[in-house]
Amino acid sequence: MPELPEVEAARRALSPVMDGARFTAVLARRPDLRIPFPRDFISRLVGETVRAVERRGKYLLATLSSGETLIMHLGMSGSIRVTPGSSEAAAGPHDHVVFQMSSGATITFNDPRRFGFMTLIERHARHATLSRLGLEPLGTDFDAAALARACRGKKTSLKVALLDQRVVAGLGNIYASEALHRAHLSPRRKASTIASRAGAPRDSALRLTRAIKKVLNEAIARRANSNDRFRVYDREGARCRARGCTGMITRIVQAGRSTFFCPVCQR
């Protein structure tokens, strides 16, 4: 499920019950998530106070008073439940981690496919993937010039480049397709074509940055991922929703993943 908007929604749910709160109990019910828990995961958490819950791309980061950071990733099917009061009895299938906080809340991490994980690190820079994440699409330094720079010289398709977390952090398979449609750019274009030879942003880069922000902000504002709101994702064979366009949404496979686009209005 989770791309940046869903992760941001999780952050906003966690922040009020975690910020300034202490871990009073930690339950790791199933040890074999994508990354195994570090040794002493529980003892390093219990008693610690959360300074803040932040998000970087699709990663949730809870900084602790000890200086360590709790990293949470929802993978493909992960979700986080926040319930008031102690509700250990409610732990169900695929509830892998349960936090009891001094704020009174119970936080439950559920993940059927177990592509998600939780771990503890001493410093952000120490985490290989985290330290290599690309532009934060809702951050202040995300603009056409930065995106063009990140795509310069890239021979992959635009869609595959947008999926690469080292280019833009947080876009996933749905919103990469949605942003490209909104920008009227073909997912098959070479990524480097949004920059001039010298690396300056073309008009397409400007349209794409605006489209990415718009698509993500709208999704955050509306919270739920209801399919009928998508312009292209999972709409193969349906009519293009772009103003004045009579095209039909097409599905292709790029880097092993479905891409949906309109071949008429996306060039």
Q: Residue 223, interface with DNA (CB under 7 A)?
A: no
Residue 102: strand pairing partners: none
Task: For residue 183, give Cα distances in angstroms to 209, 231, 265.
Answer: 9, 12, 9
One of 11, 55, 58, 159 is an active-site residue; which one? 58
Q: Which of 22, 51, 81, 114 binds DNA (CB under 7 A)?
A: 114
Cβ 244 to DNA shortest distance, Å: 28
Q: Which of 43, 65, 83, 129 binds DNA (CB under 7 A)?
A: 129
Q: Residue 92, interface with DNA (CB under 7 A)?
A: no
Q: Residue 257, interface with DNA (CB under 7 A)?
A: yes
Q: Residue 241, interface with DNA (CB under 7 A)?
A: no
Q: Which of 1, 90, 200, 238 binds DNA (CB under 7 A)?
A: 1
Cβ–Cβ under 8 Å, residues 211 and 184: no
Cα separation, 207 vs 130, whole angstroms: 27
Cβ neighbours for 67, distance < 8 A, ≥ 6 positions apart: 122
One of 34, 114, 149, 257 is an active-site residue; which one? 257
One of 2, 137, 187, 201 is an active-site residue; which one? 2
Residues 167-196 binding DNA (CB under 7 A) are 172-174
Q: Is 3 a catalytic residue?
A: yes
Cβ 116 to DNA shortest distance, Å: 8
What mask, x for binding DNA by CB under 7 A, covers residues 45 to 64?
------------xxx-----
Q: Is 58 a catalytic residue?
A: yes
Q: Residue 131, interface with DNA (CB under 7 A)?
A: no
Question: Residue 182 burial (CB < 10 Å; 0-12/13-18/19+)?
Answer: buried
Cβ neighbours for 76, distance < 8 A, ≥ 6 positions apart: 1, 2, 113, 115, 116
Cβ 14 to DNA shortest distance, Å: 18
Q: Residue 124, interface with DNA (CB under 7 A)?
A: no
Cβ–Cβ under 8 Å, residues 239 and 265: no
Q: Residue 137, interface with DNA (CB under 7 A)?
A: no
* DSSP one-letter string for 25-52: EEEE----SSSPPPTTHHHHHTT-BEEE
Please, what sign has the CA dihedral across residues 125, 152, 139, 54?
A: negative
Cα separation, 9 vs 221, whole angstroms: 9
Percent helix, strand and coil across the chain, each to the nearest 5 = 30, 25, 45
Residues that bind DNA (CB under 7 A): 1-3, 6, 32, 34, 57-59, 73, 75-77, 93-94, 112-115, 129, 153-157, 160, 163, 165, 172-174, 225, 255-258
Residues with a catalytic annotation lie at 2-3, 58, 257
